[in-house]
Amino acid sequence: MTAKPRPADAGPRHVAIIMDGNGRWATMRGRPRLFGHHAGARRVREIVEACKSCHVDYLTIFAFSTENWRRTQVEVAGLMSLFRRYIMKEMQAFVKENVRVRFIGDRPRLDDKLRGLMDEAERMTEQCTGTNLTIALNYGGRDEVARATKRLAEDVANGSLLPQDITEETLPRYLDTHVLPDPDLVIRTSGEARISNFLLWQSAYAEYEFVDTLWPDFTPEEFARLCGAYGKRDRRYGAVKA
C-alpha cells in the first residue's frame, strides 16, 4: 500500500528494522550463535512495546531472509525452533497488548508446524487495533518482486488486467506488504551499511539509519532517539522547497 508521504516532523509512522548482530554478540561472549538469536528475540518485545510511546503504528522486522538458508544446518534448525517457540510464547501477550501480527515472505519452504503457528497468530490478532507488527520470515525483496510479478502476469494472461493499465501503482497491490504503508524509516543494527535485499520496492523513499549497536543491545531508548532524529529530517520527495 503506497500511502501519502508523511511529514518528517510527524515522526515515522512505519519503522522497518534489519536486526543484525545476534551471532557476533554471542561470539563476543564466548557463546554459540543461537544464544545471540535468543537474546535478540527477547529484545523484539521491548521494541514493540516502545512503538506506542514513539507513535509508531507499524513495525516490520527482518527475522530470516531467503539467503539465510545458506547458514549451517544446526543454526537454521535452531532458528526454526526459536521461531516456533517465539510464536507460541508471545501471541497471547500480543493479543493482550492489542498488537496485530502479520508475516511476509515465501511460506511454502517453511515446515508445516511453523506455517500453522503463523496462520494461527494472524487469526488470533486480526482484531487488534494497536501496533502492527510484521515479521519477515523467509523473505527476500527480489523474491517478493518476482512472486508479485508472476501473479500480475497471471492476471494479464487471464484478462483481468490489461497491459496498458499497468503503472507503478499496480505492482504494490501484488506485494506481500500490500496492506501496509511504505516504511518511513529503516534501521540496521551492528554497523553494517547495506540493505540486504529488504523491502526493496517499498523503501524507495525511506530514510536509513545504520547504527553500530548489535541487535541484542539495541534499547528502546536508542529506538526513540532514532525516531526523534527522523522528525528533524527534511523530506522533499524529489521536490524543491519554495
Spatial distance between the Cα atoms of 211 and 150, rounded to a whole number of angstroms: 36
Spatial distance between the Cα atoms of 198 and 176, rounded to a whole number of angstroms: 12
Grid cell digits, residue 88: 507460541
Sign of CA dihedral 169, 144, 89, 124: positive
Cell 516456533, located at residue: 84
Cβ atoms of 105 and 136 closer than 8 Å:
yes
132 catalytic? Reply is no
By three-state DSSP, how is residue 157 classified?
helix
143 catalytic? Reply is no
Cβ atoms of 60 and 39 closer than 8 Å:
no
Cβ atoms of 223 and 44 closer than 8 Å:
no
For residue 95, the number of C-alpha atoms closer than 13 Å in the C-beta half-sphere is 13
The active-site residue, picked from 68, 106, 143, 197, is: 68
The residues carrying an active-site annotation are 20, 68
